[in-house]
Amino acid sequence: MTDNIPPEGAAPNVTVSAVTLSALHEAILRFSTEESVTAFWPSVCANVRWIIPARRIAVCLFDQDQLLCIGQTTRGRYTALDEAPVPVETPALRHGLESRSVIWLQPPWAVDTAFAAWLFGDDPPLALVLPVHVRERPIGALYFAIGSMSVADQALVGSLGTLYALHVGNIYHLLRAREDRLDAERRLRHNEDRFELLFEQLGDGLILHDVTGRIIEANRRAAEMLGYSREALAGMRVGDLHPAPSRHETGRIRQIVAGGTIHYETIYRRQDGTTFPAEVTSSQFEFEGQKFVQVLFRDRTEQVRVLDELRQTRDAAETATRAKSAFLANMSHEIRTPMNAVIGMTGLLLDTALDGQQREFVEVIRSSGDALLTIINDILDFSKIEAGELSLEDQPFDLRKCVEDALDVVATRAAERRLDLTYRLGSAVPGAVVGDVTRLRQILVNLLSNGVKFTDAGEVAVEVDAVPAAGGHPDDVELHFMVRDTGVGIPVERMDRLFKSFSQVDASTTRKFGGTGLGLAICKRLSELMGGRIWVESVIGVGSTFHFTLRAQATEHERPPWNRPETRPFVGQRMLVVDDNASCREGIAELGRAWGLDCDVVGSGRAAFDLLSGATRYDVALIDLHMPGMSGLALAEMLNRRGQTQTPLMLMSPVMHASRGDPRLRHLAGTLIKPLKPARLYNALLGLLTGRQSDRRRLTSTRPAGDSEYDANMGQRHPLRILVAEDNPVNQRLAIVMLSRLGYRADVVASGSEAVNALEAQPYDVVLMDVQMPEMDGVEATRVIRQSSSLPQPRIIALTANALAGDREQYLAAGMDDYLSKPLHIRALIDSLRQCRPV
C-alpha cells in the first residue's frame, strides 16, 4: 500500500486514491449486507483486510464498564469468544476509546494480560485501535496488529479506518435494532398464542366486556355453557345473561372498575331459557388506555347436586344415628334393669352382719358389678368417641383406690389362673387428683384384663409414677402408669395393630382368647383425651409392659391412718413375710417398715419354717397360700405338728381360694385377700398386734352398729309420702327395702297410668318414676301430671337405665325435677330426697 502513496510534498495520486476508495466502498458493501449480528462481526473482520493489512484483528465491545474481546481473527480465520469473552484490562489499550480518533500504539509493549499477549505475541511494530460509536456513544473498538508501515500509509489507513469504523457502528446499530424488533415480535406472537390457547382451552367460561357491560369477547367454554354462539354473545349486555334484569350488575361493574376483584355466586340463563348456578370472579384490566372487565365463571350445577346428595346422606346418617341411639338406650335399659337389682341387693347385703371374708366377697361382687356397668357405659360411649362427642368429667378422687378397684375387677380371674396381682405407687404420686376416675379405671381394667388373659404364670403388676407437668397449673402432674405382665409377649411387627379398632395381634389370638378388639383402641383415645399417650414394650416369651400417661391436677387429700408419716404403732415388733413373688414380699415389707415393724422376707415355705423354728421371735408371719414346694397351709400344718405355734400366722390368699372348709385354717390367726391393700393389712395388724382397729372394716368381725350407710331415722326427721312407679318386681322390692332402711314407707305401682291414678286417689310428696314402663311410660305420665290442674304436684324423680347424652335434659323438659341413674346408689337417693318438701 505504501508503494501507491506519493512521497511527502508530492501531488496526490488520483488513481491510487480512487482504487483505495473503491476498496473501502466494496468492503463496506460486503458487511452491510449481513442480516444478523452473529454473521456481522466475522464479515467486518474479513472485509477490513481490503484496506488494513493486519496480522491479527480483535473485536471488543463494552459490557457495562468492562471492555471484553468477543472475537478474534488470525490468518483470515474468525473465532467467536461469546461464551468466554476475554477482558481487555491494559489501560493503554483502553485509552482514548471514548474519542472518535484513530489510536496508534507504538512499542515497547507491556504484555501483562491474556489479550495483550495474543495481540502482540510476535512483537509487531504497530497496533491500531479504531473506536466504534453508535449515536455518539462508544460501544467498543477494533484492534489490529500491523507490520511495518510508513507515516504516509498510517495517515491513509487511519482515514480509511475511521470511515470504516463509522459504518461499522451504524450498520451494527441497525442490525441490533432489527434483531430487537424481531425478538419483540416473536415474544408478542408467543404471548398471543399462549393467550389464545388459554382463552380457548380454559375449562371455565370467560367473558370480556367494557365498563358499560357490553360484551366484547367470550371464549368457547362460555358459549357452550350459555348456549349461544360466540358471535351472538359479542355485543350483548352481561345483564341479558341473567333470569331478570339485575340491579346488582351495575353496582358490581362500578366496584370492579374502581380497582377491586370480587367473588360472588349468581344465576345465569341459557339461550333456551333454562338456568344454572355459577360461581364468579370478576376483575378489571386496562388495554390501550381503556378499562375493561373480565368475568370468569364456573357452572355449579354438579357441585349443588353433590351438596344436595351430601345433605341427604347427612340426614340419613342423622336418622340412623337417632335410631342407633334409641337402640342403645333400649339395650342400656334392658341390661341395667337386672344389674340394678344385682348391685342394689349387694349394697343391702353389705349393710348386714358379715364376717371379714364374706364382706370381701360381697365387695368384689359389688365392684365387679360396677365395673360391668362401666363397661356397658364404655360401649355406649364408643360411638361418642368415634363421633368426637365424648366429654370428660373433672372431680377429685383417690388415686390409690382407683388402682385397687381396677385390681378387684380382675382379681377372681387372676386367682383362677394362679397369678399374682401387685401394685406400687411412687413416692411422688399425689394421694388425690382431679380428673375422670371412671375413664382412668376403664383404661386400667382393660390393660389388666389383657394382662391376665395373656399370662399363664407369674404376675400382673401396676406401677404409677408422677412428675410435674410442663406448663399449665403449678399443681398439674403427669401421671405415668405401667401395667406389666409375664405373658406371651407381642411380636414387634404386629404392635402397630394393637391400638386399632376391632383388631387383634393375629387371628389365632382371637380364636384362643376372644375379645372384640375395642379395648386398646378405646384406651388410646381416652389417654389422648386426658392429655397423654399410650405405648407398649414387649419381648416374646418374657412379657409386655403397657405404658400410658395423663395429665391431672393434684388436690388436697386427707390421708388415711395407715398412710400418715406419724403412724408407727408397731415399733419394736417383728414381722416375717413369706411369698415366692419378690414384688409382693418386698412391697409388704416396705409397708411394714413404714409402720415401725422390723421385717424379714423369705421366698419359700421351707425357709420360713427354718426361721420360725429358730431362736428369732416374730410377732406375726404373713404366709402366701400358693408357693412351690410347700404351700402356706402346708407350712401352717407343719409348724403346728412341731409345736411351733407361738407366732400368729396370717394367710395371704387370692380371692375365693381360702376355703372355709379346710381344717388347716384353724391354725391361722386370719386371712388376707390378695392383692393386698395397705388399709386392709394395716387394720388386720392393728387388731392382731395391739387389739385396736382403725376403721369400720375389720378383718374377722362384723360392721359395728351405727356405721351403716343408711340413716334409719331420716324418715322421722324428714317425713315424706313416697310413690314408687316401677314395672320390674325385683327393682320394686329393691326400692322398697332401700327406702325402708331410711325409715320411709312407700306405695308401689307398675305403670305410668297407675301412677296418675294413685295421685288422683291421694297426694304424694315424691314420685320415683321409672322412665320405661308399659302402657304409659314415665315421661308421658309426668306430662299428664304437670298438665293437670286437679292433681297434686309432687316432686318427680326420674329413674332410668338410659345413659345417653341428652337424657337428663329430655326428662327435665318433660317436667321431672331430678334424675337418678340406675343402679341406684344410696347416697344419691338420700341427696335427692333431702331436696324434697311435703306438698
Residues of the chain with pLDDT under 50: 1-16, 502, 507-516, 658, 694-707
CA trace torsion 584, 589, 591, 595 (10° rounding): 160
Longest distance between any two alpha carbons in the chain, whole Å:
162
- The DSSP H or E segment spanning 46 is helix 37-47
Say if CB 124 and CB 55 are below 8 A apart.
yes
Of all residues in the chain, what percent carry a pLDDT higher than 70? 82
Predicted local distance difference test score (pLDDT) of residue 750: 84
Say if CB 115 and CB 58 are below 8 A apart.
yes
Predicted local distance difference test score (pLDDT) of residue 33: 80
Q: Report the C-alpha gap between 397 and 780 in whole angstroms.
A: 38
Angle between helical axes of 729-741 and 826-834 (0-180°, round to 10)? 70
Say if CB 724 and CB 749 are below 8 A apart.
yes
Cell numbers at 262, concatenated: 370480587
Predicted local distance difference test score (pLDDT) of residue 110: 62
**Nearest to 67, CA basis, from 45, 94, 44:** 94
Predicted local distance difference test score (pLDDT) of residue 655: 63
Sheet holding 746-749, edge to edge: 746-749, 722-725, 766-770, 795-800, 818-821
Q: Report the C-alpha gap between 58 and 835 in whole angstroms.
A: 112
Predicted local distance difference test score (pLDDT) of residue 416: 81
**Nearest to 649, CA basis, from 594, 680, 609, 593:** 609
121, 396, 643 from 434: Cα distances, Å: 95, 4, 53
Predicted local distance difference test score (pLDDT) of residue 796: 95
Number of residues in the chain? 839
Predicted local distance difference test score (pLDDT) of residue 707: 43
Among all chains, which residue has been given the C-alpha cell 415366692? Answer: 580
Q: Which domains does the chain have, with CATH numbers?
A: 2-180 (3.30.450.40), 202-299 (3.30.450.20), 392-554 (3.30.565.10), 561-689 (3.40.50.2300), 714-834 (3.40.50.2300)
Is the CA virtual torsion 20, 23, 29, 31 positive or negative?
negative
Alpha helical stretches, state H, 690-793: 714-717, 729-741, 752-761, 778-787
Q: Report the C-alpha gap between 560 and 575 in whole angstroms.
A: 22
The DSSP line for 490-527 is --GGGGGGTTSTT--S-HHHHHHH---S-HHHHHHHHH
Q: Report the C-alpha gap between 32 and 34 in whole angstroms.
A: 6
Half-sphere exposure of 187 (CA within 13 A, CB side): 6
